[in-house]
Structure 1
């Protein structure tokens, strides 16, 4: 079975706000792509990571999310699947990462 790549779509809905929409698998092979994309976001006030298109997230993916948080400050996760939510809960990362259970930020405006 071929490995599904990670696609990272970057948008800027407002000044100082960057949204990363991930599609694919966030795992050992693709986590460095997220870290590299986030390295270009230093200085942004608000970073939202949309995980609604992520089919798999493993411990390397969780580590990448923490590295992004360390590099840019507070981040918000949206579109978190039950599997990823369970990983966040079991590892205690819900204490460090803000999870928006509403999914789409456009609906909150």
Structure 2
């Protein structure tokens, strides 16, 4: 059974990585590998992680996002998150990840935002 599904597509000059299911220690490499691929393929690396379909995320999942954030910055890009669920957004706020990665409610908002950083 697939506990995590990861897919990607291009939208408005950004690579949107859609994540559905549970992001935890057992599935983190699946997302991490995909993020490494899309970040390496583009310079600047402009990536949106769409977590709209995410049911669960633990600390190991958050560490994948932090690593991808740093990798995108190293390639003169940015990682943005889409997270409309309050439970997971609260986890991002408690861990202060919203201080380093902008969080949006929709992919359209994330790809349309012209500025470099928006507090979520």
TM-score (normalizing by structure 2)? 0.77
Q: Cα offset for 1:88?
A: 1.1
2:16 corresponds to 1:19: yes
**1:1-109 paired onto structure 2 within 5 Å:** 5-15=3-13, 17-40=14-37, 41-42=39-40, 43-73=43-73, 74-101=78-105, 103-105=106-108
In structure 2, distance between residues paired with 1:35 and 1:104? 20
Q: Which runs of 5+ in 1 are unaligned?
A: none
TM-score (normalizing by structure 1)? 0.84
SS in 1 for 2:8: strand
Q: Which runs of 5+ in 2 are unaligned?
A: 113-120
Range moving further from structure 2, 48-57 or 31-40: 31-40
Deviations 1:8-51 (A, max 9, x none): 11101244x20001011011111111111111122343100100
In structure 2, distance between residues paired with 1:100 and 1:94? 10
